[in-house]
């Protein structure tokens, strides 16, 4: 039985959102951290926190094989909700179908604006006075699933990509645990 309150977090990199989800867990439990990058820095933190981790380098692995192996790891840990946090791999339609409605992601823009990469660069280039971040359901279409929560962040004079990313990340770290808590109850 998949228990929605048992959450797996998928990362590819530093995992600051993963940390926020773990440290602010409320109403859900993080039972697994999985990665397609065996050297993702976030994995070290997860291990040091005593969390189970699963990893298989996706480079060279067949797309469906990798996704099926991940699915097996999720079932082994009785995971019911999958939270992507800087996970830089497109999941296969098979996996998304298998976990439909149970996969969420955080994206650094006010969706539906700036789906895909370089959201901060695009917000700066457009001269937007406000940007933000969104938590959304994952579907087959990139960053296009139902938006579950968003928060606005001002763009300040003199902002560059780095400063803007830092300010939006702080907002992400508050938004994601809050939305996940509500999501696992629905």
Q: Which residues contact 157 (CB under 8 A, 6 or more apart)?
A: none
Handedness of CA 46, 47, 50, 53 (dihedral sign): positive
Nearer Cβ to ligand GRF (64/117): 117
DSSP state of 99: T
| Shortest distance (Å) from residue 1 CB to ligand GRF | 29
Q: Which of 107, 120, 136, 173 is catalytic?
A: 107
Determine whether 107 is an active site residue: yes
The tokens for 10 are: 């998928």
Nearer Cβ to ligand GRF (86/177): 86
Distance, CA of 71 to CA of 56 (rounded, Å): 12
| Shortest distance (Å) from residue 13 CB to ligand GRF | 4
Report the candidate in 75, 40, 74 with the shortest Cα–Cα distance to residue 57: 40
Residues that bind ligand GRF (CB under 6 A): 13-17, 85-86, 106-108, 133, 169, 172
Residue nearest to ligand GRF (CB): 86
Nearer Cβ to ligand GRF (17/81): 17
| Residues belonging to the active site | 107
């Amino acid at each position: 039985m998949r228990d929605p309150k048992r959450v797996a977090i998928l990362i590819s990199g530093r995992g600051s959102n993963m940390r926020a989800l773990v440290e602010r867990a409320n109403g859900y439990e993080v039972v697994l951290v999985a990665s397609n990058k065996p050297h993702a820095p976030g994995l070290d933190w997860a291990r040091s926190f005593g969390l189970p981790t699963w990893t298989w380098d996706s480079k060279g692995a067949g797309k469906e094989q990798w996704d099926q192996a991940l699915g097996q790891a999720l079932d082994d840990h009785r995971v019911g909700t999958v939270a992507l946090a800087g996970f830089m791999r497109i999941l296969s339609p098979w996996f998304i179908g298998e976990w439909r409605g149970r996969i969420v992601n955080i994206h650094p823009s006010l969706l539906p604006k700036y789906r895909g990469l370089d959201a901060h660069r695009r917000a700066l280039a457009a001269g937007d006075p406000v940007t933000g971040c969104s938590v959304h359901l994952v579907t087959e279409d990139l960053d296009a699933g139902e938006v579950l929560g968003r928060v606005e962040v001002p763009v300040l004079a003199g902002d560059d990509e780095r400063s803007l990313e830092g300010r939006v990340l702080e907002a992400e770290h508050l938004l994601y645990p809050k939305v996940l808590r509500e999501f696992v109850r629905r």
